[in-house]
Structure 1
Amino acid sequence: MFEINLECQAMLEQRVEQQIQTLELRRRQAMVEGDMDFLESLYTRDLTYSHSDGKSDSKSSYLQGMREGVWRYRGFTSRDEQMRRAGDCVVVTGLIDMDVVIRGEPMLLNSRYISVWKAGNNGWQMIAWQSTRYTHA
């Protein structure tokens, strides 16, 4: 009986990881395509979005900046992603290269990141993002 419960738990965890991976990919696609409706639904009301330059935005200010073209995302490449569950949250860490135009200036940002996803009445939503620039060795 105990082994069956462990197997069920492992299957549930794997399903959650797949859901978060799918949402992360869809979020990045929406950022490139400017799909504001999807992003609006994906981010929690109290989202904290901390950029690699140390500045931070709320959901409202981040989405407004995207609408105004402050950030125009052109592509993402990620690697070394790891997930861990903490209650009704999933913490994702990894490395990401972002091809982005910031205030008209094209940039390739190499960052370590952490994103936090929370399960709620609207399914899984991102509650926090933080990235820190690094240079390739």
Structure 2
Amino acid sequence: MHRLLVATGVALFLTVSVATAQPTGVAQPTGVKVINDAGTSAAEAAVRAAELARFKAQTTGDLKALDALLGDELVYTHSSAAVDSKASYVESMRSGALKYQTIEPRDIQVRVFGTTAVITAAAHITAISKGQPVDNQLRYMDVWVLRDGRWQMVGWQSTKIVP
């Protein structure tokens, strides 16, 4: 199932046109394109809102909100190639091994396919990981599914942007 999910996400990433919008509720980065709300479907707007709510939960340590936004079968692949499940990812935040300080997304592109959505974007992320400061510029893709009327993230894959 995991391989199928990743393969599907990659295929969608490579073949589908994009829509962009300016994020709200998270630090506003420069260079973000603004799109008229009329050009964004309700589903795209809902997925984008869930993404930004996830970033807020990560930076504020709101693990209850984060738990609701992550699917139980989450596969979270960090830019270091380390892989977490939902349980291990949330535990790393609960224990203090991982503490997000800022997440500044840009170029968020949401594609919705029925009850599945793929986001591609870039982000500047600062954190403390195992006591060490982390300052990463990343490109990422994540996959969301609609369940019981709410969007949950089930896949994350990020890659460091090399200057």
TM interval, short-chain normalised: 0.7 to 0.9
Percent identity for Structure 1 against Structure 2: 34
Contact 2:97/2:130, CA 8 A, preserved across alignment: yes
2:120 to 93, 103, 107: 93
Aligned counterpart for 2:84 among listed residues 57, 66, 83: 57
Is residue 22 of structure 1 aligned with residue 42 of structure 2?
Answer: no
Q: Deviations over 1:77-115 (max 9, x none)?
A: 111221112231110001111011111111111111001
Give TM-score, length-normalised by structure 1. 0.86
Q: Which has the higher strand share?
A: 1
Residue 71 of structure 1 and its aligned partner are, at CA, apart by 1.0
Residue equivalent to 1:3: none
Distance 1:60 1:51 in 2: 15
- Cα RMSD of the aligned pairs, angstroms, is 1.6
Q: Which residue does 1:130 correspond to in 2?
A: 157
Q: What is the distance in 2 between the residues matched to 1:100 and 1:117?
A: 24
Unaligned ranges ≥5, structure 2: 1-37
Q: Distance in 1 between matches of 2:97 and 2:119?
A: 26
Stretches (4+) displaced over 3 A = none
Higher RCO (C-alpha under 8 Å, 6+ residues apart): 2
Q: How does 1:1-137 map to 2 (within 5 A)?
A: 14-121=41-148, 123-136=150-163
Q: Mark the CA change 1:40 to 1:20 in structure 2 (over 3 Å): closer, same or farther.
A: same
Larger Rg: 1
The TM-score, its normalising length taken from structure 2, stands at 0.73
